[in-house]
C-alpha cells in the first residue's frame, strides 16, 4: 500500500484502462457524484469505465446516469471513491476488497486496503478531490461531470451550510456553475423536494423525539414496522438524521434506524465541537467530528439506553 499524490493518481488513471469504479453501500450524492464524474472523465479520454453502484441507484439521483450506459469489458483496474472502510463495500466486499488499485477518499479515518491511496480530510466532499484530479488529467469539465461533482459537494455540505465547507468548496462550486452545471435542478431535487411518504415519515419520526441531558441530546428512531406501515423506502429515510440536531439547544442529535439484520443503524450529528466520531467509535463506528455513524445490535430500548448512557458521559 502506497500513499500517493493526486498528480500521481492522475497519471495512474491515464496509464491504465478498463476501470470499475466502486461506491460505498447505501450510496449517497458524494460517492455517486465521484463515481459518475470520474467515469465520464475516463471515457472522455477514450478509456472504458463502469460505475459499480453499490445497491440501487436512488431514483432521485437518476439524473447522474442520464448520459451513462454500461460498457462491456474485462475489468483491469479498480478504483474506490468515498469508501472509508472495507466493510462499507457491503456486498461488493467479497469480489473487490483485496483488488483495489486506487482508493480516493476524504475521510480522515480511512482504513481501506488498496495498492494506492489518496486521502485528503480537508475536503468537505470527496468530489472536491475528484474535481482536482480530473483537471490534473486534462479533462474538460462537461455539464454531466459538473452536475455529478456539484451533487457530491452540495449534498455533503448541506448546500454549503455545514462547518466542513471551505473557501475551496465555494471556489469549486463557482467553477462548476461556469461549466453550466444545473445547480438549480439539483438543489430542488436534493433540498427542496419531499415525497408525501417522506412527509409522513417525518411526522412519525417527530413523534418519537425525546430529549436527554437537559435538552442537549435529542434522539429519534424509525422501526421496520414504521417503514412498512408507510411503504417507505431508502429515499424516505434519507435526511432524517439532520432533524434532531436542528432543535434549539441540542448539541448531539441521534437517529436510530432499525435494519432487517437485527441491528440499529445509528447516525450522530453534533454541534459546538462535540466529537461524534469518538462517540461512534465506542460502538465500532466512525466518521467525521460533526457527523458519524455506527451499528448496534439489540432491541429498541436496549440500543437507546446504551446511546443515552454514552451521551450522558460525553455531554
- Binding residues vs its own copies (CB under 8 A): 158-163, 165-171, 173-175, 177-178, 183-184, 187-188, 191-196, 199, 202-203, 206, 209, 245-248, 271
The C-alpha angle 246, 188, 176, rounded to 5 degrees, equals: 105
Q: Which residues contact 268 (CB under 8 A, 6 or more apart)?
A: 252, 253, 254, 255, 276, 279, 280, 291, 292, 293, 294
Helix or strand holding residue 21 (H, E): strand 19-22
State the nearest-atom distance from the C-beta of 186 to its own copies, in Å.
Answer: 10
Instruction: Please give the radius of gyration of the chain, using alpha carbons only, rounded to the nearest integer.
Output: 19
Which one, 100 or 172, has the nearer CB to its own copies?
172
Which one, 73 or 162, has the nearer CB to its own copies?
162
State the nearest-atom distance from the C-beta of 202 to its own copies, in Å.
Answer: 8
Which one, 145 or 303, has the nearer CB to its own copies?
145
Which one, 221 or 283, has the nearer CB to its own copies?
221
Question: Got the DSSP string for 251-289?
Answer: SEEEEEEE-TTSEEEEEEEESTT--HHHHHHTTT-EE-S
State the nearest-atom distance from the C-beta of 226 to its own copies, in Å.
Answer: 16
Which one, 21 or 129, has the nearer CB to its own copies?
129
> Rounded to 5 degrees, what are φ and ψ at 96?
-120, -20
Neighbouring C-beta atoms of residue 88, cutoff 10 Å? 21
Strand 19-22 and strand 77-81: pairing? parallel
Which one, 35 or 172, has the nearer CB to its own copies?
172
Reported for 160-164, long-range contacts at CB under 8 A and 24+ positions apart, including other chains, are: 162/124, 162/290, 162/291, 163/290, 164/124, 164/288, 164/290
Which one, 39 or 172, has the nearer CB to its own copies?
172
State the nearest-atom distance from the C-beta of 255 to its own copies, in Å.
Answer: 15
State the nearest-atom distance from the C-beta of 248 to its own copies, in Å.
Answer: 5
Which one, 65 or 159, has the nearer CB to its own copies?
159
Distance CA 113, CA 98 (A): 7
State the nearest-atom distance from the C-beta of 217 to its own copies, in Å.
Answer: 14
Distance CA 122, CA 119 (A): 9
Distance CA 244, CA 253 (A): 5
Place of cell 465555494: 170
State the nearest-atom distance from the C-beta of 310 to its own copies, in Å.
Answer: 23
State the nearest-atom distance from the C-beta of 291 to its own copies, in Å.
Answer: 13
Amino acid at each position: 500500500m502506497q500513499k500517493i499524490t493526486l498528480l500521481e493518481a492522475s497519471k495512474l488513471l491515464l496509464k491504465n484502462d478498463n476501470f470499475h469504479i466502486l461506491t460505498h453501500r447505501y450510496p449517497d450524492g458524494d460517492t455517486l457524484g465521484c463515481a459518475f464524474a470520474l467515469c465520464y472523465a475516463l471515457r472522455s479520454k477514450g478509456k472504458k469505465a463502469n460505475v459499480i453502484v453499490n445497491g440501487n441507484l436512488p431514483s432521485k439521483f437518476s439524473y447522474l446516469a442520464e448520459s451513462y450506459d454500461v460498457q462491456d469489458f474485462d475489468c483491469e483496474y479498480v478504483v474506490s471513491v468515498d469508501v472509508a472502510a472495507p466493510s462499507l463495500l457491503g456486498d461488493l466486499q467479497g469480489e473487490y476488497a483485496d483488488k483495489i488499485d486506487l482508493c480516493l477518499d476524504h475521510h480522515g479515518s480511512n482504513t481501506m486496503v488498496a495498492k494506492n491511496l489518496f486521502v485528503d480530510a480537508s475536503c468537505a466532499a470527496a468530489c472536491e478531490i475528484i474535481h482536482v484530479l480530473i483537471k490534473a488529467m486534462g479533462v474538460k469539465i462537461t455539464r454531466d461531470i459538473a452536475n455529478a461533482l456539484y451533487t457530491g459537494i452540495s449534498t455533503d455540505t448541506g448546500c454549503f451550510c455545514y462547518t466542513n465547507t471551505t473557501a475551496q468548496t465555494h471556489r469549486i462550486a463557482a467553477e462548476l456553475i461556469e461549466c453550466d452545471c444545473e445547480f438549480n435542478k439539483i438543489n430542488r431535487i436534493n433540498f427542496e423536494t419531499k415525497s408525501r411518504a417522506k412527509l409522513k415519515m417525518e411526522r412519525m419520526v417527530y413523534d418519537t423525539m425525546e430529549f436527554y441531558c437537559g435538552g442537549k441530546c435529542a434522539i429519534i428512531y424509525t422501526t421496520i414496522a414504521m417503514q412498512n406501515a408507510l411503504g417507505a423506502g431508502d429515499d424516505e429515510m434519507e435526511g432524517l438524521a439532520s432533524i434532531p440536531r436542528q432543535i434549539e439547544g441540542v448539541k448531539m442529535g441521534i437517529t436510530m434506524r432499525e435494519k432487517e439484520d437485527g441491528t440499529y443503524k445509528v447516525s450522530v450529528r453534533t454541534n459546538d465541537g462535540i466529537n461524534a466520531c469518538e462517540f461512534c467509535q465506542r460502538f465500532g463506528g466512525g466518521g467525521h467530528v460533526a457527523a458519524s455513524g455506527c451499528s448496534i445490535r439489540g432491541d429498541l430500548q436496549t440500543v437507546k439506553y446504551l446511546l443515552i448512557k454514552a451521551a450522558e458521559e460525553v455531554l
